[in-house]
Structure 1
Amino acid sequence: MSAGADMLIRNARVLTMDPDRPRAHAVAVRDGRVQALDASAEALATPDTQVIDAGGATVLPGFIESHMHLFMGGAELLHLPVHGIEGAAPLTEAVRDYAARHPHLPLIIAQGAEYDMVGHPTTRADLDAVLPDRPLVLVASDHHTAWANTAALRAAGILEGRALSPGNEIVMGADGLATGELREFEAKAPVLALSGEDRCMAGIATGEDPDPAPTPEQFAADVETMARGLAHCARYGITSIVNMDGNPYTLRVLAELRAQGRLTARVRVPFHYRNHRSLEALEIASRMTADHADDWLASGMVKMFMDGVIDSGTAVMKQDYPDRPGWRGEPLFDAETFAAIATEADRRGLQIAVHAIGDGAVGRVIDGYAAARAANGREDVRHRIEHIELIEPADIARMAELGIVASVQPSHVPGTPEFPLQPTMDMIGRERWGDAYLCRTLAEAGLALAFASDWPVADVNPLRGVQVALTRQPYAGAADERLDLHAVLAGYTTGGAYAEHTEDRKGMLRVGYLADMVILDGDIEAADPHAIAAMQVRRTITGGRMVHEAAA
Structure 2
Amino acid sequence: MPNASLIIENAKVLTMDPDAPRAEAVAVAGNRLLAVGSAAEIVTLAGPETRRIDAKGATVLPGMTEAHLHIFPGAVGLRQLQLAGVQGLEALRAALSQYADDNPDAALLICKGADYNLFGAGIATTRQLLDQALADRPVILISGDHHTAWANTAAMEMAGILEGAETVIGTEVVMGEDGTATGELREFDAYMLVMRHRSTGGRENLGMTGNEPDIEVTPEQWEEDLETMRRGLTYCASFGFTSLHNMDGNLYQLKLLRELEQRGELICRIEIPYHMNQTAPIDSIDIASRMTAEFSSDRLRSGRVKMFMDGVIDSGTAVMVEDYADQPGWKGEPLHSAERFEAICVEADKRGLQISVHAIGDGAVRRVLDGYQAAREANGARDSRHRIEHIEVIHPDDIPRVKELGVVYSMQPSHPPGALDFPLTPWTLKVGEARWPYAFPVAALRDLGVPICFASDWPVADINPMRSVKAAMTRQPYKAGDPDNRIGLHEALSYYTAGGAYAGFDEDRLGSLKPGLLADIVVMDSDLEALGAAAVDRARAAMTICDGQIVWQASEG
> What SS does the corresponding residue of 1:507 show, helix, strand or coil?
coil
Assess if the C-alpha contact under 8 Å between 2:201 and 2:214 holds in 1: no
**1:223 alignment partner in structure 2:** 226
> What SS does the corresponding residue of 2:34 show, helix, strand or coil?
strand
**1:419 alignment partner in structure 2:** 422
> What SS does the corresponding residue of 1:41 show, helix, strand or coil?
helix
> What SS does the corresponding residue of 1:412 show, helix, strand or coil?
coil
Equivalent of 1:393 in 377, 391, 396: 396
**1:371 alignment partner in structure 2:** 374
Provide the C-alpha distance between the structure 2 equivalents of 1:158 and 1:221, rounded to a whole number of angstroms: 31
**1:486 alignment partner in structure 2:** 490
Counterpart residue type for residue 76 of structure 1: G
> What SS does the corresponding residue of 1:385 show, helix, strand or coil?
strand
Provide the C-alpha distance between the structure 1 equivalents of 2:2 and 2:286, rounded to a whole number of angstroms: 45
**1:526 alignment partner in structure 2:** 530
Assess if the C-alpha contact under 8 Å between 2:239 and 2:541 holds in 1: yes
> What SS does the corresponding residue of 1:526 show, helix, strand or coil?
helix
Assess if the C-alpha contact under 8 Å between 2:69 and 2:458 holds in 1: yes
Assess if the C-alpha contact under 8 Å between 2:201 and 2:215 holds in 1: no
Provide the C-alpha distance between the structure 1 equivalents of 2:428 and 2:451, rounded to a whole number of angstroms: 26
Task: Report Cα offsets for 1:160-211 as digits up to 9, x if no partner.
Answer: 3332211111112344432111111111223223141612323322x23212
Assess if the C-alpha contact under 8 Å between 1:189 and 1:198 holds in 2: no
Shift of 1:528: 2.2
2:116 equivalent to 1:115:
yes
Aligned counterparts, 1:1-400, within 5 A = 2-38=1-37, 39-119=40-120, 120-193=123-196, 194-196=198-200, 198-205=202-209, 207-400=210-403
> What SS does the corresponding residue of 1:344 show, helix, strand or coil?
helix
Shift of 1:257: 1.3
- Could you tell which deviates more after superposition, 262-271 or 28-37? 28-37
Q: Structure 2 vs 1, CA of residues 218 and 156 (structure 1 numbering), >3 Å: closer, same or farther?
A: farther
Counterpart residue type for residue 163 of structure 1: E
Provide the C-alpha distance between the structure 2 equivalents of 1:156 and 1:71, rounded to a whole number of angstroms: 24
Counterpart residue type for residue 304 of structure 1: M
Counterpart residue type for residue 344 of structure 1: E
Counterpart residue type for residue 217 of structure 1: E
TM (norm. structure 2) is 0.97
Assess if the C-alpha contact under 8 Å between 1:75 and 1:197 holds in 2: no
Equivalent of 1:535 in 539, 549, 556: 539
TM (norm. structure 1) is 0.98
How many residues end up aligned between the 2 structures? Answer: 550
Task: Report Cα offsets for 1:478-504 as digits up to 9, x if no partner.
Answer: 111011111111110101111111101
- Could you tell which deviates more after superposition, 448-457 or 221-230? 221-230
Provide the C-alpha distance between the structure 2 equivalents of 1:37 and 1:240, rounded to a whole number of angstroms: 21
Counterpart residue type for residue 202 of structure 1: L
> What SS does the corresponding residue of 1:410 show, helix, strand or coil?
coil
**1:448 alignment partner in structure 2:** 451
> What SS does the corresponding residue of 2:529 show, helix, strand or coil?
coil
**1:433 alignment partner in structure 2:** 436
Task: Report Cα offsets for 1:428-483 as digits up to 9, x if no partner.
Answer: 00111101122122100211001000000000011111011001112203111011
> What SS does the corresponding residue of 2:534 show, helix, strand or coil?
helix
Provide the C-alpha distance between the structure 1 equivalents of 2:351 and 2:95, rounded to a whole number of angstroms: 50
Counterpart residue type for residue 22 of structure 2: R
Task: Report Cα offsets for 1:285-309 as digits up to 9, x if no partner.
Answer: 0011001113300110000000000
Task: Report Cα offsets for 1:392-443 as digits up to 9, x if no partner.
Answer: 1221101100110001100001012310111101100011110112212210
Provide the C-alpha distance between the structure 2 equivalents of 1:224 and 1:542, rounded to a whole number of angstroms: 20
Counterpart residue type for residue 25 of structure 1: E
Counterpart residue type for residue 328 of structure 1: K
> What SS does the corresponding residue of 1:407 show, helix, strand or coil?
strand
Provide the C-alpha distance between the structure 1 equivalents of 2:462 and 2:211, rounded to a whole number of angstroms: 27
Counterpart residue type for residue 545 of structure 1: Q
> What's the Cα RMSD here?
1.3
Shift of 1:40: 4.1
Assess if the C-alpha contact under 8 Å between 2:304 and 2:355 holds in 1: yes
Shift of 1:339: 0.4
Counterpart residue type for residue 318 of structure 1: V
Structure 2 residue runs without a partner (length 5+): none
2:512 equivalent to 1:547:
no
Shift of 1:154: 2.1
2:502 equivalent to 1:498:
yes
**1:408 alignment partner in structure 2:** 411
Task: Report Cα offsets for 1:248-283 as digits up to 9, x if no partner.
Answer: 111001111112222111001000000101111001
Shift of 1:227: 1.1
Identity %, equivalent residues:
53
Counterpart residue type for residue 21 of structure 2: P
Assess if the C-alpha contact under 8 Å between 1:10 and 1:25 holds in 2: yes
Provide the C-alpha distance between the structure 1 equivalents of 2:166 and 2:549, rounded to a whole number of angstroms: 50
Assess if the C-alpha contact under 8 Å between 1:70 and 1:226 holds in 2: yes
Provide the C-alpha distance between the structure 2 equivalents of 1:99 and 1:14, rounded to a whole number of angstroms: 48
